[in-house]
Structure 1
Amino acid sequence: MDTAALRTAAPATPGASARSGAGAGSYAYSWRSSQHVEQPMSIGEQLHDAAGLGAQVFQICDEPRLEHLGEPELADLRRTADELGLTLELGTRGTRPEHLQHYLQLADALGARLVRSMWTAGADRPDRTETERRLRTALPGYARAGVVLALETYEQVPTAALVDLVEAVGSEQLGICLDPANTVAALEHPADVLARCAPHVRNWHVKDFAFTRAEGWVGFSLTGTPLGEGLLDYEAAFTALDPVLRGISRIAEHWLPWQGDAAGTARAEASWTASTLRRLTATRPA
């Protein structure tokens, strides 16, 4: 399947000058950049598509291809973002100081001022004491570079523990990447997660979600929906965070289930990305 036809651009939303920090990330292009399609989208193609949809920010998040780019390729990617008027952010996992330093170098090469990460990374699951030690080791470099490290909310780490860690470290360079959909799997209510994290949020992964009965009525599935059709109260969260005033970037993501074939899945992903960005780039929530 040729995915070129699915890289649809839409005109920017009126009132663009009033918008701030709305964009997309790699997870809005998961299927179209995967080996499930014949021509996976490159990172550069994703930037062009997102910019055409009105994005101001693009977060290259958990993208293995980024790790293999040399200096010329990184310079080309930064040039592309600059030409498209996109601010770049990065995303990775883990807190090992050497790994965070590597991503700080990538951030410097790409002009990124935010790196999203996670408390754990695969088998690397440090306790609170070790995680705090690692962050205190890595953050001075981030402070010198003017780059923020934002740790994401997710089901493997209680939100209260994450907030406690961020407050204990007490650095302006350390904040939270809010994703209340992730924590539902740990039976944390999105509104509670928002309330706990709000003072420290520097980045917001915006994805809607819903429960559906499994076939045969045995159990439920938690999957994504287009923004506005699920359980995420985007307007309430927007009001509570005031992301435009506070400079919190809002990044479109999806939990899009496989739609039966590559073409249908790619079309759905393109549609979800376009509709989500229309809402994110509006001056206020629709």
Structure 2
Amino acid sequence: MIGLSTYSFFWEHKLSVPDGPNLQPLDLPGMLRATADQGVHLLQICDYAPLFDLDEKGLADLRGLADSLGIQLELGTRVVTPSHLERMLTTSLALGATFVRSMLSDANSRPSTREAERWLRQELPHWEAAGVTLALETYEQIPVAELVDLVARIDSPSLGICLDPANSVAALENPRDTVERCAPYVAGLHIKDFSFTRHEQWVGFRLSGTPLGHGLLDYRHLMDTVRPEERGINRVVEHWLPWQGTQTDTIRLEREWTTTALAYMKEH
């Protein structure tokens, strides 16, 4: 299934003030409706702090809206401490989500791989019993080989990899190598295209986003290697869209990138 992430609405939900009658900040219900308007039936609520302000009724209302729009929910978070994983599992069950993306670390928590493994082994039996998958994302903070080794060593049906080849470029890891190493363990895909270019002054480089199909992501190689449709792996659109100078211009381009990405994925 093709889906959108809250990162597809990154600038629109961060809109600081209304910008005219047709441009209002998007909350979660707004993102659900915008997803449905695109003809998409999956939304990944990823790194979205207001989700945790919802009480039991708020979660039930959100799930009810998603159900009424025919949208499946996934979640995305960071860190794998036991208390946080317990909270994420409870939240995912309340929302009917069977997929949660996470990372081993964030700005405030950087456990060793050994410690993360201990936490995961402690909590994963609960995820297995609930039928919920936890997928650790490829990021520059942990070498791809180390992440793959961790997932393979734990060998749980509820643990996999959320593959985003763009992220590991920041650690100078080749995207094609990342795809091929991770392929057997992939449980979810983040789809965003990117460029790696010299700065205008030729001092240093810039890793940034581009519309899907216009950058360095070898989408065909990714599809042929992972085979998401054959394996039932969802493909979730994200963007690395730089600020365009004004709220109006940035959000207009963000919407265009989403439309472009969805059309590209359907054609390819």
Instruction: Establish whether TM, by shorter chain, passes 0.5.
Output: yes
List alignment gaps of at least 5 residues for structure 1: 1-20
1:1-286 superposed matches below 5 A: 21-38=1-18, 39-280=24-265, 282=266, 285=268
SS of 1:212's equivalent in the other structure is strand
Instruction: Look up the equivalent residue of 2:35 and give its one-letter code.
Output: A
Instruction: Look up the equivalent residue of 2:225 and give its one-letter code.
Output: A
**In structure 1, C-alpha distance between the alignment counterparts of 2:119 and 2:196, rounded to whole Å:** 37
Q: Provide the aligned C-alpha RMSD in A.
A: 1.0
Where relative contact order (Cα < 8 A, 6+ residues apart) is larger, the structure is: 1
Deviations 1:157-209 (A, max 9, x none): 00000000001101000000000100001010000000000001010000000
**In structure 2, C-alpha distance between the alignment counterparts of 1:132 and 1:61, rounded to whole Å:** 23
| Alignment TM-score, normalising by the size of structure 1 | 0.90
Contact in 2 for aligned 1:31/1:37 (Cα 8 Å): no
**In structure 2, C-alpha distance between the alignment counterparts of 1:37 and 1:247, rounded to whole Å:** 40
Deviations 1:183-240 (A, max 9, x none): 0010100000000000010100000000232132222211000000000011221111
Contact in 2 for aligned 1:37/1:262 (Cα 8 Å): no
Structure 1 residue 54 displacement after superposition: 2.1
Instruction: Look up the equivalent residue of 2:11 and give its one-letter code.
Output: W
Structure 1 residue 35 displacement after superposition: 3.8
| Alignment TM-score, normalising by the size of structure 2 | 0.96
Structure 1 residue 48 displacement after superposition: 1.1
Structure 1 residue 37 displacement after superposition: 4.6
Percent of aligned positions with the same letter in both sequences? 51
Runs of 4+ in structure 1 deviating by more than 2 angstroms, as ranges, are 35-39
Contact in 2 for aligned 1:151/1:176 (Cα 8 Å): yes
Contact in 1 for aligned 2:15/2:247 (Cα 8 Å): no
**In structure 1, C-alpha distance between the alignment counterparts of 2:218 and 2:75, rounded to whole Å:** 26
Structure 1 residue 57 displacement after superposition: 1.2
Deviations 1:101-128 (A, max 9, x none): 1010110010000000001122211112
Structure 1 residue 274 displacement after superposition: 1.4
**Equivalent residues, number:** 263
List alignment gaps of at least 5 residues for structure 2: 19-23
Contact in 1 for aligned 2:213/2:264 (Cα 8 Å): no
